Amino acid sequence: MIKELIKDRIYKSVSPLFEDIDFDLNHIDLDLTKNPMHGDFATNLALKFAKRISLKPMDLGNKISILLKNQNSDIFASVECINPGFINLKLKLSVFHDCLSNIFVERQYYGSGSKKNEKVLVEFVSANPTGLLHLGHLRNAAVGDSLARILEFDGYQTEKEYYINDYGNQIKLLGESLKIRIANILGDELEMPEDGYHGEYLKEIAQNFIDNNSSIDQAKDIELLSSYAKEKLLNEIKNDLQLIDVTFDNWFSETSEVHHTKLLEDTLKNLRDLNVTYEKDDAEWIKTSEHGDNDDWVIIKKNKLTTYFLNDIAYHRNKFSRGYSKIINVWGADHHSHVSRLNAAMKSLSFDNDKLQFVMIQFVRLLRDGQDISMSKRSGEYTTIRDLLAEVNKDVVRFIMVMRSSDSHFDFDLGRCLEDSDDNPVFYIQYANARISSILEKVNIHDYDLTKTKYLTNDKEISLIKKIISFKEVIEESSKTMSPHKISFYLQDLARDFHSYYKSVKILDENQSHLEARLILILVVKEILINGLKLLGASSPENM
RNA sequence: GCGCCAGUAGCUCAGCUGGAUAGAGCAACGGACUUCUAAUCCGUAGGUCGGGGGUUCGAAUCCCUCUUGGCGCGCCA
């Protein structure tokens, strides 16, 4: 809002200079300055356009400065053009005060985007129900869920979906593995094959099966065993997700939604009608290479069964048919090669590919005392979410998982979070909120006089207001680039500014006007901290 | 061989739709608790932004190339 105001003023003042060239509001870059010597905001307008109107940057800059200064003395305290041509703007304090007052009125809605009337689908986790969730899924869950929350806050209607791969070889193998575990318990020394599921959890499920089924004959029916194990594991997965406050709107089952409907059949017909498939080596292929992928891929195997890829095309065809304006897939980086393949397939079905977007999640390594804790799924030795949560607070886990950009892999050192809280950004942020709560407990003001904001004049107060102002942009940016980590960085900055301010002044000032002004300021900070933490899936305790 | 991601301070990472003196946390060093929660604050030190070219007023950011690391390249899912 403040930025829009300034841009608008700049545009009105300078557009006479640019009459002969293509120039509109969007050409104006305006940024908060990093260096306080450069005022509050700066624009590179003169540098950018000098050449186009045959002037030296400094000459153009000076012209612009004069215009801005003369026509906007109500908001600018000073306007200066500095070598090589930046125009630095210093605002009157009253502009910041008004801004803060407006934000105070918005309260918990500050930063949220206007309702966009657009539906967005975020599909994430989607781990096969053949094992418990581990660390890799955890990062995916945290990022996906936060992303959905951010998009919702930014004004989108968001749906969260989990695709259940409950079809095919892995599920069959799960049943076979269970059969072996049951046999083991009953005294048969059968060996688990190399590619079976070796995890301890399957032993528990086997015991469970024996306890609940009187007839051991049932233990020979692989299909029944598969389905038994799948249901159990799916429940475990749901429980684990609940532990980190991740929930889904849709649980989309491959078996019942793709295979037991006409979806697969229709999709195949659709592809064949469009003439994008062909027969080769007794299999049926799709011409993905014609739409940007490197190769063509098999969709019907020699044995006449469909491939995972065709099932996935069908699933995404279904997603497109549901009318979303954005379809976001949060995928592990090891699936990156599927991106171009799926994109190509969707393109050949004439879907608008811009709607389909991917967030790729790089690996996270879990370290304990500098040692890498391996997470091989087959060995069953991997670190599960529940193992981790037994040691680390949920808020910490969620925060750390979204603290880094998704496309960089990072190391999560367990020891550091456990030893003490010094190295813990979550507590740092939560502590800021707790401090504010503690101050608020000591006062009893219900109606704040917003004109009192004029008593906020020191540097730390103004920079705190600037930080508050930038929250809205951070949300927009985070939503647009699908990057939850931007919020975590922002919150750390905000908390730092608050802690520093807290040390520098006594908020509970004897002077009633100063007190009220400062309370307004910290109330807004509090609101943002709570909202920001909520977007990342972390809580905001009042006491610490 | 092909493709995706990454290489920034001792460590873990921001910054990447080009902008001014490249940032944060941790670790190191030195300070601050009779005062609203010290889970805090203030300060010092620490960098050829992997190497080399190019584009321009201006490059960590864009282009090319080389190099190092991670991950993929199944008629598995």
**How far: A15 CA to B59 C1' (Å)?**
30
Residues with Cβ within 8 Å of A141's Cβ and at least 6 positions away in sequence, in order, are A124, A125, A133, A241, A244, A246, A401
Given a cut of 60, whether residue A418 has pLDDT beyond it is: no
pLDDT of amino acid A373? 66
Angle at A331 between CA A240 and CA A530, to 5 degrees: 55
Nearest to A418 by CA among A381, A468, A368: A368
Nucleotide nearest to A440 (CA to C1'): B36
pLDDT of amino acid A416? 63
Nucleotide nearest to A422 (CA to C1'): B39
Return d(Cα A69, Cα A90) in angstroms, integer.
10
pLDDT of amino acid A384? 81
Nucleotide nearest to A360 (CA to C1'): B5
Position A15 confidence tier, pLDDT thresholds 50, 70, 90: confident
- Residue A327 backbone phi and psi in degrees, to 5: -120, 110
Residues A151-196 pLDDT 10s: 999 999 999 999 999 998 899 999 999 999 999 999 888 888 888 8
Q: What share of chain A is helix, strand, coil (3-state, %, to 5)?
A: 55, 15, 30
3-state SS record for A4-50:
HHHHHHHHHHHHHHHCCCCCCHHHCCEEECCCHHHCCEEECHHHHHC
Nearest to A497 by CA among A475, A474, A469, A516: A469
**How far: A414 CA to B70 C1' (Å)?**
21
Nucleotide nearest to A481 (CA to C1'): B17
pLDDT of amino acid A193? 87
Other C-beta atoms closer than 10 Å to the C-beta of A436 total: 23
Q: Which nucleotides of B are covered by protein (CB under 7 A)?
A: 2-7, 12-15, 17, 19-21, 23-27, 35-42, 57, 70-77
Return d(Cα A348, Cα A103) in angstroms, integer.
48
ipTM score of complex: 0.95
Q: CB-side exposure of A522: number of CA atoms within 13 Å? A: 25
Q: What is the pLDDT averaged over residues A396-413?
A: 86
Which CA distances in Å does A13 have to A17, A92, A462? Answer: 9, 18, 26
Position A78 confidence tier, pLDDT thresholds 50, 70, 90: very high
3-state SS record for A224-257:
HHHHHHHHHHHHHHHHHHHHCCCCCCEEEEHHHH
pLDDT of amino acid A422? 53
Return d(Cα A139, Cα A397) in angstroms, integer.
9
Nearest residue (Cα to C1') for B14? A489
Return d(Cα A319, Cα A324) in angstroms, integer.
8
Helix, strand or coil for residue A327? strand
**How far: A423 CA to B45 C1' (Å)?**
20
Count H helices, E strands: chain A?
Answer: 18, 15
Nearest to A491 by CA among A459, A534, A458: A534
Nearest to A521 by CA among A460, A430, A474: A460
**How far: A511 CA to B65 C1' (Å)?**
66
Residues A112-149 pLDDT 10s: 999 999 999 999 999 999 998 888 899 999 999 999 99
Q: Dmax over Cα atoms in chain A, in whole Å?
A: 93
**How far: A275 CA to B64 C1' (Å)?**
39
Q: Which segment of A70-74, A216-220, A386-390, A452-456 scores lowest on mean pLDDT?
A: A216-220
Position A198 confidence tier, pLDDT thresholds 50, 70, 90: confident
Residues A513-535 pLDDT 10s: 999 999 999 999 999 999 999 99
CA end-to-end span of chain A: 35
Nearest residue (Cα to C1') for B3? A337
Residues A16-65 pLDDT 10s: 888 878 788 888 889 988 888 889 999 999 998 888 888 888 999 999 99
pLDDT of amino acid A200? 87
**How far: A335 CA to B2 C1' (Å)?**
16
Nearest to A6 by CA among A48, A41, A44, A46: A41
Bond preceding residue A84 cis, omega within 30 of 0:
yes
Instruction: Kindly state the percentage of chain A with pLDDT values over 70.
Output: 96
pLDDT of amino acid A417? 61
Bond preceding residue A16 cis, omega within 30 of 0:
no
Q: CB-side exposure of A452: number of CA atoms within 13 Å? A: 16
**How far: A442 CA to B32 C1' (Å)?**
25
| A329 and A162 Cβ atoms separated by less than 8 Å | no
Return d(Cα A339, Cα A356) in angstroms, integer.
10
Nearest residue (Cα to C1') for B72? A334
pLDDT of amino acid A369? 66
**How far: A60 CA to B55 C1' (Å)?**
25
Q: Helices marked H in A304-353 — which ranges?
A: 308-321, 336-348
Name the token pair of A437. 């709560």
Nucleotide nearest to A412 (CA to C1'): B12
pLDDT of amino acid A378? 41
Nucleotide nearest to A497 (CA to C1'): B41
Please tell me the pTM assigned to this model: 0.94
Nearest residue (Cα to C1') for B38? A503
Other C-beta atoms closer than 10 Å to the C-beta of A112 total: 15
Nearest to A232 by CA among A252, A202, A257, A211: A202
**How far: A489 CA to B49 C1' (Å)?**
20
Tell me the one-letter amino acid at A158: T
pLDDT of amino acid A166? 94
Bridge partners, residue A365, by sequence: A411
Q: What is the mean pLDDT of chain A?
A: 91
> Which contiguous run of DSSP H or E holds residue A159?
strand A157-164
Bridge partners, residue A90, by sequence: A78
Nucleotide nearest to A311 (CA to C1'): B77
pLDDT of amino acid A376? 43
Nucleotide nearest to A280 (CA to C1'): B75
